[in-house]
Amino acid sequence: MKLLDRNGFRTDDFSRAGADGAARLDAVIVPFADLPSTAARAGKRLGVDIPNTVTVEQLAPHFEKLALIGIAFPASTDGRGFSLGRRLRRAGFKGLLRASGPLIPDQFPYALACGFDEIELPDASAARQPESQWLQALGAITLPYQRGYARPSSIFEQRRQARKEAAHG
């Protein structure tokens, strides 16, 4: 697995529970089933892996102890994670949001817009698609249309501002 954020490939601070030495690390990801029985520990960061069928209502009670939620993308064509990520952000989750699965570079800007911070790629995907392709994908479309997503600006927003300036000018 290879971790990617908006600056490129990076090392993963988190380990999965059960991996060698995971218990000693500062940041551990547990399976969703173990979440209710896992307590937050002082000085340690807790993450959870979830399938894309888990609901916000199931997760919201745990938001405070969670530093990371990793949503599984079983295939690049399964877009449920985009909507789930968006729902989690709108429900107030402030920690790291991770997309876990074989996404492709063209989906990277979509994932960031829907509130994700990082993508955890299978090694085979990362081997075929170098860092440069992922970073380039972020700049492919300077301004998208939709407003209200986690992006610096949008066409609808720029037009709104132009109208506002015209009204005051």
Partner 1 sequence: MYRYDEFDERFVRERVAQFRDQVNRRLSGALTEEEFRPLRLQNGLYLQLHAYMLRIAIPYGVLSSQQLCQLAVIADKYDRGYGHFTTRTNLQFNWPKLKDAPDILDLLADVQMHCIQTSGNDIRNVTADQFAGVAGDEIEDPRPVAELIRQWSSLHPEFSFLPRKFKIAVIASQADRAVMKSHDVGIRIVRNKAGESGYEIFAGGGLGRTPMVGKRVREFLPKGQLLAYLEALLRVYNLEGRRDNKFKARIKILVHEIGIDAFRDRVEAEFARADAFSDDENAELARISAQFEVRNYEKLSARSETFEAARKSDPAFAEWVAHSLFAHKVDGYAAVTISLKPVGGVPGDMTSDQMRFFADLTDRFSLGELRVTHAQNLVLPNVKQDDLHALWRELGKAGLATPNVGLVTDIISCPGLDYCALATARSIPIAQAISNRFADKARQDEIGPLQIKISGCINACGHHHVGHIGILGLEKRGQESYQITLGGDPTENMAIGELLGPGLAAGDVPAAIERIVGVYLDKRADGETFIETVKRLGVSEFKAAFLAGAQNEAA
Does 129 engage in binding with partner 1 (CB under 8 A)? Answer: yes
134 touches partner 1 (CB under 8 A): no
Residues 6+ apart with CB under 8 A from 5: 117, 118, 119
If the CB atoms of residues 19 and 140 are measured against partner 1, the closer one turns out to be 140
Q: Is 58 in the site for partner 1 (CB under 8 A)?
A: no
The string of DSSP letters for 23-78 reads GGSSEEEEEGGGTTTPPP-TT-EEEEEE-TT--HHHHGGGGGG-SEEEEE-SSTT-
SS3 of 153, please?
Answer: coil
> CB of 151: closest distance to partner 1 in angstroms?
8
Is 144 an interacting residue with respect to partner 1 (CB under 8 A)?
yes
CB of 10 to partner 1, least distance (A): 21
Contact yes or no for 87/56 (Cβ under 8 A): yes
Residue list 66-85, contact with partner 1 (CB under 8 A): 76-80, 82-84
Contact 137, 148 (CB under 8 A): no
| Site residues, partner 1 (CB under 8 A) | 76-80, 82-84, 86-87, 90, 102, 104-107, 109-110, 113-114, 128-130, 133, 136, 140-149, 155-156, 158-160, 163
